[in-house]
Amino acid sequence: MDRIRKYDNTKFIKASDKEGLKDAAMHLRNGEVVGFPTETVYGLGANALDKDAVEKIYEAKGRPGDNPLIVHIHDKSQIDDLVSEITDNARKLIDAFMPGPITVIMRKDPKIPSCVTAGLDTVGIRMPVHKVANEFLKLCDCPVAAPSANLSGSPSPTKASHVYNDMNGYIYAIVDGGDSDFGLESTVVDATGEVPVVLRPGAVTKAQIEEVCGIGSGEHTNVDKGETPKAPGMKYRHYAPSAQVEVIDLPDNTDIDMEGELSEEQMKALFEIGKPYIMKTKELIAKDPFSRIGIFCGEEVKDLFDRLNDNVLSSHVEFYVYGRAGDCMAASHHLFDGLRTLDVQDVALILAPGFAGDGIETAYMNRLLKAAGKKGDDTKSSSFARKREKITFGSDSMVTLSVLFVCKNNRTLSAAAEGIFRRMITGEAPYCLNDDRDTEAEIYCESAGVFATDGENADSKMIKAVKDLGIDISFHKTTRALASVYDRNDLIITIKDEQAMDILKAFPDLEGKVYSMSSFLASKGLVIKDDKGRVISLAIPDPEGENELTYDHTAKALEAWLKIMFPYILKELGVMRI
Ligand code: TXA
Ligand code: MG
């Protein structure tokens, strides 16, 4: 979408400038677009009841009009007028969390123009708890449609200067209310149905929502191409830094008293926190002596780099310190600013810590992985356009199904399994559903590793071994096995037994969908014997570190076992060859 510069300069208004605030509010009400602060991120507001004003938001953002906007209010009494139904769940969420960092999706009232909701019959309502936001929205005296105030494809703004960088000349004014308190966008919850469904994780957690609604909740926060997104915004890659983003694991315990001289024990702990960053940095420098690396980290990590006093290392890195290493709240608060700051320093790669947990960590990881661009864009995993639902065209219909192979790092065994299995699928295509032969089935496969880092190449020895089977996996890029990856597949097969068990322990809901190679065969009652009648047990040892011959054997063994499994996998998916 073309952006047209409309103003010589966008007005920059301090929150304390009462006249300025009034002027900006009046202009917003009369059809102009104004950037304003909230506790989550800055918003780009326009009069939600004025179709032309709302169009200006899309123009200023360079954002396609198929992504609905959130309607902001300053008083709960405005809600009745904007929606046609307030379900029990919606009522409970409003009572418990508004004002606050939550957006509640309800059925919309016809008076909201359809360009606000991108044609949906629902609307997201949000009442910020931020003092300046509240004051400003009240002065506007109309519902305010506002997305985050970034240029489409940039990280959401958490400072007025971010908005200024993205929007100067394109909007009427920006209200400066200082840094956003939280720093990640609001939790978006669809409250139109029986169970609340979290469409975007945020400061209000799934557990809090379940507690308030007194019922389990759904989650639909990752969307692949081809699927109709529940929160359409989730399908866009939110931030495409020229830098790659890579997630670094933190140790369980990051609590070190950093005051004064550190004991040997404390030094050890410090090293544990900083080591993965240092290893990764060294690895990158070894690969490319000109590479510059951005490090989004806790102060402990920077401290360790300083202590090492290694000139080579330090000449390759730029730091953005968010606070203490284990403080996910601080990391969340600074994430978008960190990405923006490091990205303009021309780094090739940004290292950022991953946090485990199902509170605020979920929101942080959701944004971080989006920044890493591994979901819903043009990376390998989305090269398969998944359409889980049956698609009908005329008298024909089609479903897609997919199989995931999982190993440890996704560089060797599962990468090979994916390549080998893919060739089997294409060799046997086309398929149809067993119980509905008029429905064609497309089968896809992908692979991931429970400890993989995203975007690495396959093991070169494995690439070669698989090539000898006539299969090319040289384009393979590793994928981290995450809940969302499990979610988008219909059948999950791990190379080793303990991996299947670990996945099931972490995600009991996946029961019936996860097998190891050997448990899959066993579940089909298959016992394989050699020509002397001896039972062969399936064991595929990891060839890593071994010689090429071992790799060749491994690739052949994988192929042989997958050949045996193939018809049973088709059966498990409910499909057959046409
Ligand atoms: O914290 C926030 O929510 C910020 C501040 C400014 O309030 N706003 C924000 O807006 O993040 P935006 O447009 O960047 O993201 C809104 C998200 C998108 O993913 C959009 O698809 C989803 O909410 N959304 C909005 N209305 C929806 C609806 N009716 N149904 C489903 N999803 C909706
Ligand atoms: Mg946004």
Q: Which of 371, 388, 410 is the last residue of a domain?
A: 371
Across the range 159-177, mean pLDDT stands at: 96
Across the range 558-571, mean pLDDT stands at: 92
Is 19 within the bounds of a domain?
yes
Top-confidence residue, 462 or 348: 462
pLDDT confidence tier of residue 377, bands split at 50, 70 and 90? very low
* 192 close to ligand 1 (CB < 6 Angstrom): no
**pLDDT value at residue 223:** 41
For residues 453 and 311, membership in a common domain is answered with: no
Say yes or no to pLDDT of 463 above 90: yes
For residues 183 and 276, membership in a common domain is answered with: no
For residues 161 and 307, membership in a common domain is answered with: no
Report the candidate in 409, 546, 533, 420 with the shortest Cα–Cα distance to residue 472: 420
**pLDDT value at residue 141:** 97
Chain Cα centroid distance, residue 558: 31
pLDDT over 70 percentage in the chain: 91
For residues 215 and 257, membership in a common domain is answered with: no
Residue 223 structure tokens:
């969307």
* 123 close to ligand 1 (CB < 6 Angstrom): yes
The count of other CB atoms within 10 Å of the CB of residue 248 is: 20
CA 400 to centroid of ligand 1, rounded, Å? 29
> For residue 314, what is the domain's CATH number?
3.40.50
Is 384 within the bounds of a domain?
no
CA 176 to centroid of ligand 1, rounded, Å? 21
Is 466 within the bounds of a domain?
yes
* 67 close to ligand 1 (CB < 6 Angstrom): yes
CA 185 to centroid of ligand 1, rounded, Å? 8
Supply the DSSP symbol for 148: B
Is 227 within the bounds of a domain?
no
* Enclosing domain of residue 541: 397-577
Reported as a single tens digit per residue, the pLDDT across 384-415 is 223 344 565 556 678 888 999 999 999 999 99
Reported as a single tens digit per residue, the pLDDT across 169-220 is 999 999 999 999 999 999 999 999 999 999 999 999 999 999 999 887 777 7
* 151 close to ligand 1 (CB < 6 Angstrom): no
pLDDT over 90 percentage in the chain: 60
Say yes or no to pLDDT of 134 above 90: yes
Instruction: Judge contact between 48 and 197, C-beta under 8 A.
Output: no
* 200 close to ligand 1 (CB < 6 Angstrom): yes
Least confident of 170-174, 425-429, 536-540, 547-551: 536-540
For residues 489 and 534, membership in a common domain is answered with: yes
* 188 close to ligand 1 (CB < 6 Angstrom): yes
Q: Which helix (H) or strand (E) holds 149?
A: none
**Cα–Cα distance between 353 and 472 in angstroms, integer?**
33
Across the range 417-424, mean pLDDT stands at: 94
Is 66 within the bounds of a domain?
yes
CA 94 to centroid of ligand 2, rounded, Å? 22
Residue nearest to ligand 1 atom 33, measured at CA: 231
Of all atoms in ligand 1, which is nearest to the CA of residue 42? Answer: 6
**CA torsion, points 98, 44, 109, 29, in degrees to nearest 10?**
110
Side-chain-facing half-sphere of 534: CA atoms under 13 Å:
4
Ligand closest in space to the Cα of 232: 1
Substitution site in 44, 74, 103 for ligand 1 pocket (most atoms within 8 Å of beta carbon): 103
Reported as a single tens digit per residue, the pLDDT across 78-128 is 999 999 999 999 999 999 999 999 999 999 999 999 999 988 999 999 999
Instruction: Judge contact between 335 and 367, C-beta under 8 A.
Output: yes
Across the range 410-438, mean pLDDT stands at: 90
Ligand closest in space to the Cα of 200: 1
* 112 close to ligand 1 (CB < 6 Angstrom): no
Substitution site in 38, 66, 70 for ligand 1 pocket (most atoms within 8 Å of beta carbon): 70
* 103 close to ligand 1 (CB < 6 Angstrom): yes
Across the range 454-461, mean pLDDT stands at: 93
Of all atoms in ligand 1, which is nearest to the CA of residue 108? Answer: 29
For residues 406 and 535, membership in a common domain is answered with: yes
Residue 206 structure tokens:
């799934």
Alpha helices (H) in 44-159, listed in sequence order = 51-61, 79-82, 88-97, 131-140
> For residue 209, what is the domain's CATH number?
3.90.870.10
For residues 414 and 535, membership in a common domain is answered with: yes
For residues 147 and 277, membership in a common domain is answered with: no
Say yes or no to pLDDT of 577 above 50: yes
Reported as a single tens digit per residue, the pLDDT across 492-537 is 999 998 899 999 988 888 888 999 998 898 888 777 777 777 777 7
Is 172 within the bounds of a domain?
yes
Number of compact structural domains in the chain: 3
> Considering the entire predicted model, what is its pTM?
0.66
Q: What CA–CA distances, in Å, run from 226 to 66, 131, 397, 432? A: 14, 40, 15, 20
For residues 401 and 254, membership in a common domain is answered with: no
Q: What CA–CA distances, in Å, run from 419 to 172, 404, 416, 472, 475? A: 53, 11, 5, 7, 10
* Residues in contact with 265: Cβ distance below 8 Å, sequence separation at least 6, in sequence order: none
Substitution site in 84, 112, 180, 185 for ligand 1 pocket (most atoms within 8 Å of beta carbon): 185
CA 366 to centroid of ligand 2, rounded, Å? 13
Across the range 229-246, mean pLDDT stands at: 58
CA 69 to centroid of ligand 2, rounded, Å? 9
**pLDDT value at residue 329:** 97
Ligand closest in space to the Cα of 156: 2
Is 354 within the bounds of a domain?
yes
Residue 423 structure tokens:
């060739």
For residues 470 and 556, membership in a common domain is answered with: yes
Phi, psi torsion values for 434, nearest 5 degrees = -55, -45
For residues 440 and 300, membership in a common domain is answered with: no
